[in-house]
Amino acid sequence: MEKSIIIREAVTENDAAAFWKQLRLYSKRDRFPGLNDRNGKSFPGDSEYRACVQNMDDSPQDRCWYLFFQQGGHDIGFALPVLYPSKDGKCFVMEFCVYPEYRGNGTDESCAGALLEWARKKGALYVELSVGGEMEHVWGSLGFLKNGFDEWGEPLMILPPQAEKPFTVEILKNPTDWRLLKLENGFKKEIGEEFLTKENQKQLQRAVKEGKITFFIAKRGSRAVGMCSVAKCYSTFSCSDTGVYEDFYIEPVFRGKGIARKLAQAAQTWCRQNGIASLTVCCAPCDEKMYQALGFDICLGTTFAHID
């Protein structure tokens, strides 16, 4: 069989209808096989999802694309990438499917490779997607690396950007920013805790809004790649506010680039400017040297806790 993969962009109403038909079949067959059809829907939030996608498709700048993979003149799969040229040049692959009868023998890798080449030609500087199961191997073979979780708790993989960009740190202004949930989920998973529930999210957003906790976000261009937080409390020892350094997390792919030091310095500077007498951190013994290197170099003894 001819192995060359051609990408066909959906341009007509019939193409768009065929795309959504295949997406529903894929969702029911591969993603949610136990879900029964309800009112013609084959996956949760179908109408909302389609409206969201259509809104992006109508955008003149950062838009999505309905794509079909062709081989030997036949459609063998589809993809739904979103390009963000006005931000940081990311291509996010929302959907990717090779039809069951064409899977195997390298076809999945060939389609994925064709999509990457298409994205490069469109100006994408790097590619990210949410993926699990067998497809992790496919994308891993093309250079993708695991890189935390999205705001819904789905695992992410990224083909890292090659160009170097400076990293900056800013204070989170919007407590409902989806990037906070994305980084929090990565942090929670890494320390072995459950993802934030809806109620947890509301409580966190309320704490940020009320100034009980301040988040510092590290960014590469417009992309959030790391965070830390300072939770304020009153100390009768110093008769002033003190801070606890928490939620320290950097996406795996962006570690080793000096982001940790930038975050710690931003938090320490903010504390000095806001009359916070001291900033402390509780850590495991294996992390002590790292925190000492970040400026937490005064040992205050051993911390004990009682948790109900």
Dihedrals φ, ψ of 111, to 5°? Answer: -65, -45
* pLDDT per residue as tens digits for the range 187-232: 999 999 999 999 999 999 999 999 999 999 999 999 999 999 999 9
Q: For position 41, what pLDDT does the model report?
A: 46
The two tokens of residue 10 are: 């959906």
Q: For position 197, what pLDDT does the model report?
A: 94
Q: For position 137, what pLDDT does the model report?
A: 94
* Amino acid occupying residue 3: K
Q: Is the pLDDT of residue 39 over 50?
A: no
* pLDDT per residue as tens digits for the range 40-78: 444 544 667 777 777 776 667 788 999 999 999 999 999
Q: Is the pLDDT of residue 84 over 80?
A: yes
Distance (Å, whole) CA 107 – CA 76: 9
Classified by CATH at the fold level, domain 167-293 comes out as Aminopeptidase (3.40.630)
Q: Is the pLDDT of residue 3 over 90?
A: no
CATH 3.40.630.30 positions along the chain are: 6-159, 167-293
Q: Is 164 exposed, middle or buried (0-12, 13-18, 19+ CB in 10 A)?
A: exposed
pTM: predicted TM-score of the whole model, two decimal places? 0.87
Tell me if residue 257 falls in helix, strand or coil: coil
Dihedral angle, C-alpha 57, 62, 66, 71, nearest 10 °: 160
Q: Is the pLDDT of residue 302 over 80?
A: no
Contacts of 179 (CB under 8 A, 6+ apart): 151, 217, 224
CATH superfamily for 6-159 is Gcn5-related N-acetyltransferase (GNAT) (3.40.630.30)
* pLDDT per residue as tens digits for the range 231-276: 999 888 878 889 999 999 999 999 999 999 999 999 999 999 999 9
| Percent of the chain surpassing pLDDT 90 | 70
Q: For position 238, what pLDDT does the model report?
A: 77
DSSP H helical ranges for 93-155:
107-121, 135-140
**What is the enclosing helix (H) or strand (E) of 244?**
strand 240-250
- Grade residue 132 by pLDDT with cuts at 50, 70 and 90: confident
Q: For position 46, what pLDDT does the model report?
A: 65
Q: Is the pLDDT of residue 142 over 90?
A: yes
